[in-house]
Structure formats: structure tokens, C-alpha cells
Structure 1
Amino acid sequence: MIRLPNPMLDQERVGMLRGREPTRHVLVPAWPREQKELPQVEVEVAWVRFSTLNHRTQAEQRREIHRAGQADLFTADPLGPAAQKAQYRILTSQEGFKELKADLRDRGQQEPAIITAEGVLINGNRRTAALRSLYHDDDWLKARYVQCLVLPEDAQIDELVDLEAELQIARDFKQQYSWINEAFLIEELYDREGKDFGRVARRMHSDVAKVRDLHDKLQQVHQLVDLSKGARLHVDFTENESAFTELAGHIRNKPAAEADSVRSAYFLGTLANVEYRKLRHLRRADAAQLVQREIERDPALKPVLDAARSANAADSSDDLLDDLLGEDAPAQPLNELLGLVAAQTPDANLPLDNGDKVSTRQVLSSLRSAIVAAADEAADEAADQSAVRAPLSQIDKAITALKRIRKDLPKARAQAEWDEHPFGLKMDEIRGLLNEIEGL
């Protein structure tokens, strides 16, 4: 198949790379084409460009877009100064960046980066950012150049995404992904592969259950972010993976009413910083009712509930919830409050019906106490129910064991080494226990 050069490439930059004499050719098994050897060249660290399509930074990019108020920050001119400065800021602020710089200074660049024919980094963004920081900020002259493998000039976007998916499998690359950013990559592949989780799993060299789980969790985060109307971003929920894992898993095959109830309780609990170990006790059909009851017991939260009802009547919060949860999902008591609280940043002041304002942090703190109380009540009820069921469950096990004894006893008695005396003692013990139980 003949591949034509990409006319969208910056030909001046392409020509610069084309003129570089490769120091060697390196086999890259992750490159999807049959010809997997790529030329390695040395280029100035300030010349290469960071990839704004990097899935490792998707959540962080959304935060930068929100801060700048510029929806096309990374798409209008991906190689321009605004997008590149923002992407560099993201890379240098990621966890472990200082350690990465120290390692590069001690050991140097151990693996070449991978760039497109116009010098855009497909792999090695963080390492290159670290080298650039060492060169410009720390004046370490050995970091002036970066070793890069150059992709063909006709490389297509789909091939670059496939390459990233292959590379992120390796441990060294995978550590650079947050679960949300990995889910963004899965979501893109899922849409591209005809919404077939099997095909996505094969692309990711993973199993269907894992990619589906990440995709489902991301959909829940999408809903909460949409509900917040810009007050919250995907990156804000990176630390809440366990809560979204349990939520997505529980509601996957539940009726709409129960799914909505549990989702509302989990969303409000996540915003209020309730530990997922507490929230898991609210995986029940009446979760929203339990939480609402505890909220109504707190006099300090009554003005907030009134404000939520007023806001719901005045705007489209309920319409958004209907869109997110489905038109057939019955209204839950928490939805009005959730719509109000989600749309507030923690530092904002929430307006009340009487004209006063209350700190959103204060409201979230009160909500946390109410949700924890509801979760504790649910846990106690579950323990009580378990205690009620325990005797019957245990007697079923005893009956099963006695039936097994009845089957095995004749065979055992037929053996020469069988001793009837200890067996008789055990039978007397059983009879005694039965008499005690009947007398309780």
C-alpha cells in the first residue's frame, strides 16, 4: 500500500529532521506497521514539541482549558507558544517530576523518545520536559540534546493512538497514567473501534472486564463533571477511583430507581469527601432516602435544602439530571441538593433564600457528617440483618454436613481401623448441643 506524505505537516520542520543523519536504527515492536525499525537522531531539547494529544494529560489539559477560558487552547495551534507553554506546565507539575530530573542527571537519557516527522513527541514527553528543565532552569549543558526515534512522514493519527496504547502497557510508561487519563484513551479507542470492548481490550493487551470497568467509571465522572457546570473537573476526582469503581460496578445492572439513588448518594458523598469505605454501606435501593433523612435532622442544613428546592424550580438542574440519569429514572430526594452543591466550588459562598450566604466548605462539612451517619446506620442495619440470617445459614450448613456423614459413615465403619467410641462421644456432644439450642 502506497502511503502519501501528510500535507498538514510543517514541511520546514520535516525538512530539518530529514536532513539529520541517523546515528542508528532501533526496533520498536509497538509500532503497528510491519517495518518496525525507526531512525534515531539527536535534536535540541528546545526544538521538539510536546504532544497535545497525549492521553496521559487529558484531565490536566481540561483543567488548563478551564483556567484559561479558551476551549481551543490545545487545538487552535498545538505547536504554538500558548499550547506548548500550557503542556510544559502540566508536565513539570506532575508527581515525581523532581525525581525524574534527578534520575536523568545521574544516569542520563536511557531510552530514546519517539517523535513525528515534524518533531512532535509521541513518547518521552515527561523525560524531554525534564531535560528541558535541566538545561534551561538548572543550566546543565548535558541536557541540551535529546535522542529521538523518528516516525515516518505519512504516520496517521490512528497509528499514533495505537502506538500510545501499545507503549502504555509497559510498566515504565503505564506509571505515567492516572486512571482517568487511561480511561480517556480507552474511551477514544472504544468510539473508534465501533463500541466493541473486545477490540479495545485486544488493542490494550488487556481483558474486556478491565477496559469496560475503566470506561464505565469515566462515564460516572463525566456525569458529575457535567452536573457541576464547570465547578469541578475530571482531574479533581483522580483520588476517588475506588468510589467510582464501586459505584459503577454496583449500578451496572440495577433498576433505574436504585441506580439513581445510589449514584446520588455516592456523588454527594464524593463531593463531601466521604471515604469510599463508608460509602459502600450505601449501595442499597434506599440510599438517597437514608442520606436525606440524616440531612433533614441537621437544622443547619435546612436553609440549604430550601435553597436547593428554590434553585431547582428556577433553573434546569433537574433537566440536566434527567438527561444524565434517563427520563424514566424516578426523582430522588437528593437530586435537588446534589444539583446545587455540585455547581459550587469549595471556596464559593452558597446563596440562601433569605439573602444570606453560607460557605460551601461549611455545607460540605455538614453534609459529610450526615452522610457518614447514614452510612453507619446502613452498616448497623446490615449487621442486624446478618445476625437474623446467621442461625438459619449455620443450620443449613449443619444439615448439609450431617447428610454427608450419613453417606460416608457406612464406608467408614467397614474399615478395620474404625473406632466406634470417639464417634459415639461426638454424637453425644451433638445431642447435648441440640438440647441446649432447643432450650434457648
Structure 2
Amino acid sequence: MFNPAMDQDRVHHLAMRQEASARRALLPAWPRPDKELRVVSLEVDWVRFSTLNHRTKSEQMRVITQSGRSDLFTADPLGVEAQAEQYAILRGQDGFEDIKSDLKERGQQQPAVVTAEGVLINGNRRVAALRSLYLDDKVKSARYVMCLVLPADATMPELVDLETELQIAREFKEDYTWVNEALLIEEIFNREQKDWNRVSSRMHKTSNEVRTQYEKLQQLHQLVDLSNGTRHHADFVDNESAFTELAGYVRNKPAEEAASVRSAYFLGILTGVNYRSLRNLRRPDASTLVRSEIANNVTLAPLLEQQATDANDDLDILDDVLGEKPNALGGDLNGVLSFFASQGGKAETAFNGSNVSLSALMSSVGSAVDVAAEEASAQQQDGKAVTAPVGFVTEAIGKITKAAKALPKARTLVGWKEADFKAKLDELKAALSDLEVSA
């Protein structure tokens, strides 16, 4: 029985195509026992892109925020506007031109998967590439796309499970960004009663892997929330390493320490600091070190005063998002962080009584974060230097103790050389004498 919510004209058209096709193929990822589905060829400009496609979810969130249309992809998902926006997203993703070139050279190698009304569950990017080849580049061989057709009574949970399975399957795999994968994991986590084992089973990953992706996303949610709509999840695809290290560090840390490190990391991410530098700021006083560097810079110091005033109205929001109280751990970065988080897309900004280049100001603050990270690294090295002598002596004592226990047996074995042992013992005594003199 057809779903009455479907476009029945499209369902009828596709049903007629299926009747005219005798070809069938297996879809192992389909969750039902009967995995053999009909194969049909459909016009690339007739099939519809899935607006529920998790590979584009973060990009959709950005378009929704920028347009102010919360129902842009849901009010009429098969309509002209939603489909045009989805097509634009697919064409703008990394690797689109490579897919076009491959399809032009080799043609379609694997069938796409569509619902009973011709909505793509798998193969959205490939169909977008074929459509571009046909409509823009006039490649006649790209006019049709081969598709497996799902039953008309397929449910939404079945479709999500299918998409997840196809994401894992090597022959269908199209790369997710880490953000879109994490958004999918979050959706499954909430649907599966927050059971990590069930999520890991769905994603074919370990519980630790899916939980790490989820926790990275929670950090990203906070940074996007701070921007008041000026920055979007899709903007931070290239910052995966920083979010991985941040999420791993704050997982079991006290709230104040987590907030301090998070603030420093967020400011570093926004101002373009390399994650390898930021890892030196994984310490309780991270925000204090960064704030100190900004305060000691004559050019940047007014930023602290200006933003401290501007941020007063936002402190409650920041506290809710970051869990950080003003002056926590001796250094409040809330004002500066709020300022830079909300500046997305601007060329200039008001600073110290005049308009300045935002990119130049961000670069200067980024340099201050870098200096703070270098100072933290130097302090860490100094700390290691302080404890190194005792550590080395402790290690030596342990090895000498083990040597004494092993010596009696070694002397009974063929090949033992007493002279060599005594020579080494003399070296040890000389080294110990030198150490005592140095002390």
C-alpha cells in the first residue's frame, strides 16, 4: 500500500518504469530479509535529491541560518526551491569536479538507490555530477542514472539505517565530513535511547570511536552557539584535529579547567592557530596565559577593555555555553571570545575607536595565542628539567636492582664474561662519582 504522503504521480511513474524493467539486483545493506530490488534507468533531472541526506546536514544548517528559513528543506522537500538549494550544496562540496571527471570517463559503476517516489537515498553526489554533465556540459551519456528502487512502504528508520549501512559499505561509500558523520551519530544516539553499543553497531565502529565523534560535536555546538548565527557547523570541517584533542582532554576534567582550555582552544580555532600549538594549552591556566599575552600587547590590550564592557550583557549566555565564570582561574576570555565568535563574514570591525581589518586583528590575536602556547611549552620543558635528574637516578636504581637479581644466574651460564662485567661496573662507579661531585 502506497504512503499517502508521497507524490502519487511520481510513485505511479516509477512503478510503471519498474514494470517495464526485468532487471533485479541485490542491495545487501537493505535491512529487510528480501534484499532483491528492481533496477531502472531514470532521467537525471527527474530524480530528486534527498534533503534528509546526512552528508549535507551541516551545509543545510548553514543555508537555513543564512536565509532565516527554518523550513527551507522541509516545507516542500521535492519543490523547486529546496531542490535547487540541495543541488547547489552538492555541487559546492569538495571533490565534485573529480566525481564529474570520473563519471565522464568511466560512466556510472554502481546503481544509486531511490525511494518509491524517486528520492535518492544513496548516490546524491553522483547524480548531481551526472546532472551537471548532462545539463551544463551537454554530455548525452549522462542523461540517465541507474537506480535500485525501494518498496513504497519503506519507513524513515529503515531509510536512516540504510543510509548508515551504505556509508560503511565500500562499494557505495561517499566521504562524509567529520561534522556530518558526527551529526548522524548524534541522531542515531538520540533515537537509540542513548545506548552507545547500539550506536556503534549501527555505525560499524567501536563505542569509543562513535562517542569521540559525538563529544567533538558537542564542543562544536558550543562554539557555533557563541557566534549568534554568524558561524556554522560546516565552517569548521578543517578543524577536526583541534576538536579531537579538545574533546579528549576535557572529557573528565573539572568544570573550571575544562572551561579554561575550551576558551583558549576556541579563540585559537577562530584566529587560525595550528592545533599542534594549541595542544600546549591543555592545562588549567590556559585562558590566563592567553589573556596575559593579549594584555601585554600594547596594540591588543584595548581589546580586553572594550570587549569586557561589550560582553557584560552576554555573560549569562556564555556561562551557559562554556560553563565558565568571569575571572575563573585568574583570566576571563569571555569577552574576547564572544567578540570573535560573532564576527563571521565581516571585512572590518570597530576596535579602539576606529574601523580595522578583521583579518589583521584576528591574525594579531592568533599570534598572541601562539606566544601563550610557546610559553606553556617552555614551562613544560622547564618542569621536565627540574624533575629529570631524580627521574634518571630512580630509573638507574631500578635497573641496577634488576641487574643484581639477574647476576647469579648469568654467572652460571656458558658465555659469561666476568671481566666485561667488572669493566662496566667500574664505569658505573666512575659515573656515580661524577654525579656526587656535581651534586
TM-score, shorter chain, exceeding 0.5: yes
* Letter in structure 2 aligned against 1:356: S
Q: Give ranges in structure 2 of 5+ residues lacking alignment.
A: none
In the alignment, does 2:13 pair up with 1:6? no
Task: Tell me if the contact between 1:256 and 1:328 (Cα under 8 Å) persists in the aligned partners.
Answer: no
Deviation at 1:282, TM superposition (A): 0.2
Q: Is the CA contact 1:180–1:218 (under 8 Å) kept in the aligned structure 2?
A: yes
1:48 aligns with 2:47: yes
Which residue does the alignment assign to 1:360? 358
One-letter amino acid of the counterpart of residue 430, structure 2 = G
Question: What CA distance in whole angstroms lies between the structure 1 residues aligned with 2:373 and 2:67?
Answer: 39
Q: Report the CA distance between 1:40 and its aligned residue.
A: 0.6
Contact 2:134 2:140 in 1 (8 A): yes
How far off is 1:172 after superposition?
5.2
How far apart, CA to CA, are the structure 2 residues paired with 1:78 and 1:320? 34
What residue identity is the alignment partner of 1:170? A
Shift of 1:173: 4.5
In terms of mean alpha carbon deviation, does 355-364 or 78-87 score higher?
A: 355-364
- Distance in 2 (CA, whole Å) between partners of 1:329 and 1:75 is 41
Instruction: Within 5 Å, give how 1:139-154 maps onto structure 2.
Output: 139-154=138-153
Give the superposition deviation at 1:355: 4.4
Provide the residue aligned with 1:260 in structure 2: 259
| Paired AA for residue 157 in structure 1 | M
Q: CA deviation at 1:400?
A: 1.3
SS in 2 for 1:100: helix
Deviations 1:317-349 (A, max 9, x none): 211112113488974511121112211125243
Tell me which residue corresponds to 2:244: 245
Provide the residue aligned with 2:384 in structure 1: 386
Q: Deviations over 1:259-299 (max 9, x none)?
A: 00000000000000000000000000000000000000111
Match status 1:16 vs 2:17: no
Displacement, 1:130?
0.9
- 8 Å Cα contact 1:345-1:360 kept in structure 2: no
The answer on whether the counterparts of 2:326 and 2:334 sit within 8 Å (CA) in structure 1 is no
Aligned-residue offset at 1:107: 1.2
Q: Gapped runs of 5+ residues in structure 1?
A: none
Give percent identity, aligned residues only. Answer: 55
The answer to whether the 8 Å contact 1:51/1:120 transfers is yes
CA contact (8 A) 2:256 2:324 kept: no
Length-normalised TM-score, structure 2? 0.96
Letter in 2 for 1:178: T
Q: In the alignment, does 2:34 pair up with 1:38? A: no
Structure 2 residue 317 is the aligned partner of structure 1 residue 320 = yes
TM-score where L is the length of structure 1: 0.95
Counterpart of 2:335, as a letter, is E
Q: How far did residue 411 of structure 1 move?
A: 0.7
Q: Give the CA deviation at 1:362.
A: 2.4
Equivalent position of 2:168 in the other structure: 169
1:10-55 per-residue CA deviation (whole Å, 9 max, x = no partner) reads 1111111111123411111111111111111111111000000000
| Alignment-derived partner of residue 123 in structure 2 | 124
Q: 1:33 to 1:330 in 2, by over 3 A?
A: farther
Matched, 1:115 2:134: no
Q: Which residue of 2 aligns with 1:190?
A: 189
CA contact (8 A) 1:292 1:334 kept: yes
Shift of 1:303: 2.2
Q: CA deviation at 1:80?
A: 0.4
Superposition deviation, residue 392 in structure 1 = 1.7
Alpha-carbon RMSD: 1.6
Between 1:198-207 and 1:341-350, the stretch displaced more is 341-350
Deviation at 1:312, TM superposition (A): 1.7
CA distance in 2, matches of 1:175, 1:375: 37
2:227 match: 228
Q: By how many angstroms is 1:395 displaced?
A: 1.5
- Using the TM superposition, give the Cα deviation of residue 403 of structure 1 relative to its aligned residue in structure 2, in angstroms: 1.1
Q: Distance in 1 between matches of 2:326 and 2:168?
A: 39
